[in-house]
C-alpha cells in the first residue's frame, strides 16, 4: 500500500504534464459563416502549427478545445502544399472565425504571441504570411458532418468514398437520402456543438 501510494505521487505530475502538452485541438471548417449550418469537415485532433486544410473554400472555422492562451488562425489562398495566408486570428475557448474562402486553419500556444509578431483580431485582407508562424504540415480532415451525423473521410477511407461525401456536402444532401453503403463510414453524432 505504501509502495502503491508513492508510485502514484511520482506518477501523477507526469500524467498531468503529458495531458496538457500533448492534447490536440479540433479544427472544424463550416460551409457557412459564423460556424452555423450543419455541414462541416473536421480535423479531430491536430497538433499546434499543423494546418487543417480543405479542398473546398469554406466560410468559418470553429476551434474545439482551444485553451484560453491559445491562438487560432484561418488562412486563404492555399496552394496544394501549404496553408496559405493568415486572414484572421484570435484567442479564446470556443473560438469561431468567419472569413470568405477559408482553405486552412491552425492553432498555436499564444502565451508569447507578441514576441512572435502575431496580430490578434486582425480584420480583412491584411494577413501575414503563415510561414512566419512556422506551420509545419498540412493535413486533411478526418471527419465530415451532416446535421449532427459524422462520417470518416480521407486516411483509410477510399478516395472515391471521400469524394462522394464531399459531393454530398456540396449539394447539401440530407443523411436520410444517403445510399446505404456510406453508413459503413458512420463515426457517431457530434456531441460538442
Ligand atoms: C520559425 O522558423 C525560423 C526560421 O527557420 C526560426 O528562426 C524561428 O525561431 C522559428 N520560430 C518559432 C516560433 O519556432
Ligand atoms: C470505389 O472504388 C472501389 C474500388 O475501385 C469500387 O469497388 C467501389 O464500387 C467504388 N465505390 C463507389 C461508391 O464509387
Ligand atoms: C448530390 O451528389 C450526389 C453525389 O455525387 C449525387 O448522387 C446526388 O444525385 C446529388 N444530388 C443532387 C440533388 O444534386
Atom 14, ligand 3: residue with shortest CA distance? 171
Is residue 83 very low, low, confident or very high in pLDDT (cuts 50, 70, 90)?
confident
Task: Answer yes or no: do 103 and 181 share one domain.
Answer: no
Task: Answer yes or no: do 107 and 120 share one domain.
Answer: yes
Q: Is residue 2 part of a domain?
A: no
Ordered DSSP codes for 40-63: EEEEEEE-TTEEEEEEEEEEEEEE
Question: Residue 6: helix, strand or coil by DSSP?
Answer: helix
- The pTM of the full predicted model, rounded to 2 decimals, is 0.77
Res 9 pLDDT > 50:
no
Q: How many domains does the chain have?
A: 2
Please work out whether the CB of residue 167 comes within 6 Å of at least one atom of ligand 3: yes
Which of 3-7, 72-76, 86-90, 177-181 has the highest average model confidence (pLDDT)? 177-181
Please report the pLDDT score of residue 192 as a whole number: 61
Phi, psi of 190 (to 5 degrees): -70, 140
Atom 5, ligand 3: residue with shortest CA distance? 167
Host domain of residue 147: 143-189
Q: Is residue 19 part of a domain?
A: no
Angstrom distance (rounded) from CA 52 to CA 48: 10
Task: Answer yes or no: do 132 and 44 share one domain.
Answer: yes
Task: Answer yes or no: do 66 and 134 share one domain.
Answer: yes
How many residues appear in the chain?
193
Q: Is residue 167 part of a domain?
A: yes
> Could you read off the pLDDT of 116-155 as tens digits, one per residue?
445 444 443 444 444 456 788 999 999 999 999 999 999 9
Which ligand lies nearest the alpha carbon of 129? 1
Which ligand lies nearest the alpha carbon of 167? 3
Task: Answer yes or no: do 131 and 180 share one domain.
Answer: no
Phi, psi of 23 (to 5 degrees): -55, 130
Tell me which residue of 68, 22, 29 sits closest to 45, measured CA to CA: 22
Res 177 pLDDT > 70:
yes
Task: Answer yes or no: do 119 and 171 share one domain.
Answer: no
Please report the pLDDT score of residue 171 as a whole number: 92
Task: Please compute the mean of the pLDDT values over residues 153-178 and round it to a whole number.
Answer: 96
Atom 5, ligand 2: residue with shortest CA distance? 160
> Could you read off the pLDDT of 24-35 as tens digits, one per residue?
799 999 999 999
Distances (CA, A) of 112 to 95, 96, 115: 19, 21, 6
Task: Answer yes or no: do 48 and 121 share one domain.
Answer: yes
Amino acid at each position: 500500500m505504501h509502495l502503491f501510494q508513492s508510485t502514484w505521487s511520482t506518477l501523477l505530475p507526469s500524467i498531468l504534464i503529458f495531458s496538457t502538452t500533448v492534447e490536440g485541438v479540433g479544427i472544424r471548417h463550416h460551409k457557412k459563416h459564423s460556424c452555423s449550418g450543419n455541414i462541416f469537415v473536421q480535423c479531430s485532433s491536430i497538433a499546434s502549427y499543423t494546418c487543417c486544410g480543405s479542398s473546398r473554400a469554406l466560410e468559418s472555422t470553429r476551434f474545439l478545445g482551444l485553451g484560453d492562451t491559445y491562438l487560432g488562425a484561418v488562412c486563404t489562398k492555399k496552394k496544394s502544399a501549404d496553408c496559405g495566408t493568415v486572414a484572421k486570428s484570435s484567442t479564446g475557448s470556443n473560438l469561431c472565425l468567419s472569413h470568405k474562402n477559408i482553405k486552412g486553419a491552425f492553432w498555436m500556444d499564444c502565451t508569447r504571441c507578441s514576441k512572435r509578431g502575431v496580430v490578434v483580431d486582425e480584420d480583412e485582407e491584411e494577413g501575414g504570411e503563415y510561414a512566419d508562424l512556422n506551420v509545419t504540415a498540412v493535413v486533411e480532415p478526418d471527419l465530415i458532418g451532416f446535421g449532427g451525423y459524422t462520417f470518416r473521410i480521407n486516411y483509410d477511407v477510399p478516395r472515391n468514398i471521400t469524394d462522394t461525401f464531399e459531393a454530398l456536402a456540396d449539394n447539401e444532401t440530407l443523411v436520410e437520402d444517403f445510399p446505404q453503403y456510406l453508413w459503413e463510414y458512420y463515426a457517431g453524432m457530434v456531441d460538442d456543438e
